[in-house]
Structure 1
Amino acid sequence: MSRTADYTIQGFIYQFTVTLHVLLQANINDSIVIEGPIEDIDVATPAGIESTQCKYHEEKEKFTLSSIYKPVLLMMDHYFNKSSQKTKYKLFAHFPSEPVNSKRSLTKEELAKILSSQDTSYKTIIESLVHVSDKNTFLSHFEIEFGPSLGDLQKSTIVLLSKEGFSTQDVEDLFYPNALQSIANLSIKHLESERTVTKDSFIDALKAKKKTAISRWTRELSSYQNLLKRRRDQMRDLLSRNQRIRCLVLDSDFVLDFESKIVNFIEDFVKKYNNKIRLHECPIFCIVGDNALINTIWRRLNEKNVIVERGHVAGEFNVKHFLRKPLKEIKDGRSEFKVRICSYANEFELVEKQEQMDDVYVISKRNIFTWEARPDLNIELIETNEIAEIKYLFQLATTI
């Protein structure tokens, strides 16, 4: 990953953690909009709206005025052109050399310098403020607060979560990563009403989540190896049970080195979870990919003597043929086929309607989970694209 990409992801994690921090400190009647119409975090209180934008500048040692031109101009545009002028604006920014929790405002001279910027990318915003006679009135509605480093912010946020009745260990390995993931999920909702929460509603939803989130966001945490181990332990019980009908939905565009590694993964899975001829059920692998890729996987598995059922009859997919029980020779320990493989795009909907699955594991970062949940259906959403980590979670490897 490039340094630029790394800083971008850190910036998002910082924003999500600040959002969580604000949520945990909110009053019972405060309404918090994540990715609000104004800024990253909009808090509606009886006194008005407090809007906060987060900036993480780990790579910049010192604060410079030019580094905040854009957020200040955008806030001014909202204040003068789109609000009732009762909103308070905060820029919550981390610069390594600035004292943590210190605050400052802007001077009239600094504001004039921002408004006289010749950067063409700011031209439209500056022109939208030309009609304002006294731009300095914005200054009493704006402040900068210098925040801690990401690591220190995470520690203080974990302390706040612990005060909500969670054990420290559960906070670090379960509730903090799940809270970040929940905020990330809320931030991409289209409707503002869907992104609006209160402290109590957020905490209640968090308490209901018992599976550690494994995603592009949580993998950036320093505790990620512990999170993987925690999620592995959570998955162990159901994986150890016999006679479970399991389905794995694998996104070929998401998993790294999919073509070169997926066949060995399926082979290892079958050897572990379909080796007891009397007790094990034949697993289903649903591939998000084109037919050429699926056919290649089919052929390579058959070459390894892992016999595949594709459900094709006279060139067409037949769901009843696909889901039929394999013929078995108990004495010799042989089965007609060891694994079922289907296409997510063309065949999975038919399969899902006909088969009463016990466990569905979705390995993708895309929102491809569209079927209705059932009380008796265990659904695992796993957002890691490393085969080594996937094998570790499924007990197919003891280390990563």
Structure 2
Amino acid sequence: MTDILDLFPQYAEELKLLRKTAREFAQRNFSPELARELDKKEEFPWDLYRKAGELGLLAPSIPTEYNGGGFSTYLADIVVTEELVRAEPTLGTAIMSGPFSSHLLYFFGTEEQKKKYLPPVYKGETTFFGAYTEPEHGTDITQLNTVAERKGDKFIIRGMKTFITNAPTAKYGVLLAQTEPEKRHRGQTLFIIHTDWPGVTIRKLTGKMGQRSIPVGEIYLDNVEVPIDYVVGGEKGINQGFYWTLAYFNVSRIGPAAMAVGLMLSAFDKALEYAKKRVQFGQQIINFQLIQEKLGRMAMLIEAARSLVYRAAYYVDDYIKFKIDPRAMAAITSAAKVFATDAANQVIDDAIQIHGGYGYFEEFDVERYWRDHRVTRIYEGTNEINLLTIVDALRRDVWKP
């Protein structure tokens, strides 16, 4: 059988071993029963998260000095994400979302900041958050209501962030605030924020449609005093927040795309197995041409999405070495994110349809896969804004198909 990793011969063997490690970890620890339980309780799989950290699965491409996996290519992150999500979408997405936004600190933090804050995350001791979204500023973060006012060698931060992944479970994370409001996006700065600091209040948000094992919350900041040492990147990071956030998104939006591929594969596995077992009119339903048409299109969409996602991930290695124009990289990863998540919408819906009435009940899991998938078309930039990002690159002649 063909293997997509063979398209990257310089990494193929080590990535296959990594995939094997991730697969065996999932086989030992994942179960639909656990996923259903945590989905209902809206609980994070702490035990699995810590075990994944022990195996170096939480940040495969981060150097070992920060407790990462030490792989030399970002493809490693995609391999693990796809494998764990395929094994069990609810558990896989939760585990791989635990370190969310920690790569931003790896890219732009000082050496002291990275050594202090990254190892506990990648060991599975804490999650991490990236606080960008506000009630009045979701897709548009060019002007924020959260303000950081400088007072000597510290900042006083006031404001609120919402829909913040891992806010209820993380000990700390990064937060984007206006340091010079009159400059709009040119006057934004990233700060490291601890959730137990005076003036910081976290409120967990419940009742989500899907990805219910991934904790999400609101962060309230009431005159929080933040020493200048907690500016991401130190003094040079002041007023660089908007640009560094976009640079990080150029990489991070591949995450939902990889999750979408894993979700599609899991739904396809279930649908194919069911079609071979389910008997109607005296024969397996896989013999019916309309079922065959669905399975054929599902396989086609998965292959196309997977190829696009892996290609985008491969480019990350050059992007972080400043070999690719940021707007071109934004277009490449936006294309992967939009295509993969839109494809997942169709593939998982077809999986439910193949199951018929059973697909609508939790026992057969595919309804949960659809709920877990749906938000991938919204977070990390809505698919609509990502399409505009693609057109921006085309208009500027920095990228084209």
TM-score range, shorter chain: under 0.3
Q: TM-score, with normalisation over the residues of structure 1?
A: 0.23
Q: TM-score, with normalisation over the residues of structure 2?
A: 0.23
**Bigger radius of gyration, 1 or 2?**
1
Structure ranking higher in helix proportion: 2
